[in-house]
Chains A and B, each alone.
Chain A
């Protein structure tokens, strides 16, 4: 085929483009994913029962704020990264900030406690549940976000996939925080960060295939 011929064909009777805003699509898909993740969490795990205690409240707020920060940053990055060249407007260092912050708070809290309590603070009781539930419950939000991204044209698929995985992991962690009774800063810094990072890594691997165009 001759390229001039193709150019003529493409441009003939071209329609005015209908804009689909990345911001809207990303938010809608993440919202739908979040609702599904919330329902799944309520069905299989349920909300923690000791919410009347202030300490429990405090930790729900801390955990969900951590997850919320990750979600907010990831979604903001996603709206940029779905456009060609948008990866240049994404700061990876900034994205690591919540993890770094959590690590500092966790270290401070460890330093202030006797060594004998460290193991309980870091490992907690339900680390395995956390490790399993967060990635599992991130699958539907991840699929929804990927679907939205496929309407656009990311040009760095690894980073785009990682960001989608991180957003989905954040959403899932947010829901899990309503159930989780492991109330210590080191637990959050280790297991929440680890599971969300795991989601990002898996997202990068899977996203590279799913986002191709």
Chain B
């Protein structure tokens, strides 16, 4: 097993158990790998490299809201690669790019380039949040942006703790769908 796989896998397993620090490290690492992967692929297919950061963020959110589909008994890198490739194909179809010369099974490609040169994506979080129902938006603001605990957010928003949790969960799913759909239309 390669060292990247072993390290990411143990971090991801901790993240699935609710380890915020581990999760931040995994996502940070993945964002650099994804950036490297998409830059290389889009350069090959002569697509706009300006879309790289949008794709990275779309994929990160998709990874987050679909993280329950990772089976800890299976290797982690192929799971990430499958999602990254799925999002790339989705993007290429939308922009009428060719999917034909995309290598089929190239799991190693995902960790081939570590690229930390980020640019701003075209996504505007505030405008996306405005499209959520008020309760959901508040829950996301308090818990995910202001960093309040669920109990504190419940007190501030006048919701039950389970309502906060449900709204955060629902809100992240909607954000991911909005980004995926927005990029599609």
What residues make up the interface of A, taking CB atoms closer than 8 Å to B? 1-20, 22, 82-86, 88, 152-153, 155, 212-213
Contact = CB atoms under 8 A, between A and B. Distances in A.
B145 A9 contact: yes
A112 B80 CA distance: 54
A1 B61 CA distance: 13
A143 B21 CA distance: 40
Contacts of B15: 11, 14
B24 A153 contact: no
A2 B120 contact: yes
Contacts of B61: 6, 10
A10 B64 contact: yes
B67 interface: yes
B20 A14 contact: yes
A16 B18 contact: yes
Looking at chain B's contact residues, the main secondary structure is: helix
A136 B158 CA distance: 49
Contacts of A18: 68
Given A10-B27, A15-B18, A16-B16, A83 B79 contact: yes
Given A7-B28, A83-B69, A155-B86, A12 B144 contact: yes
A87 to B, nearest CB: 8
Contacts of A4: 28, 31, 118
B121 interface: yes
B89 to A, nearest CB: 9
Q: How large is the interface on B (under 10, 10 to 19, 20 to 34, 35 or more residues)?
A: 35 or more
Given A3-B53, A3-B121, A88-B105, A10 B85 contact: no
A13 B149 contact: yes
Given A1-B124, A7-B24, A152-B69, A13 B144 contact: yes
B111 interface: no
Contact of B69 (A7, A12, A14, A84): A84
B27 A213 contact: no
A139 B16 CA distance: 36
A213 B68 CA distance: 15
Nearest to A84: B82
A14 B140 CA distance: 12
Nearest to A19: B68
Contacts of A12: 20, 143-145, 147
30 contacts: A1-B123, A1-B124, A1-B125, A3-B31, A3-B56, A4-B118, A6-B57, A6-B125, A7-B28, A8-B24, A10-B27, A10-B64, A13-B148, A13-B168, A14-B19, A14-B23, A15-B165, A16-B16, A16-B17, A17-B16, A17-B18, A82-B69, A83-B69, A83-B71, A85-B78, A88-B78, A153-B86, A155-B82, A155-B86, A213-B177
B60 interface: yes
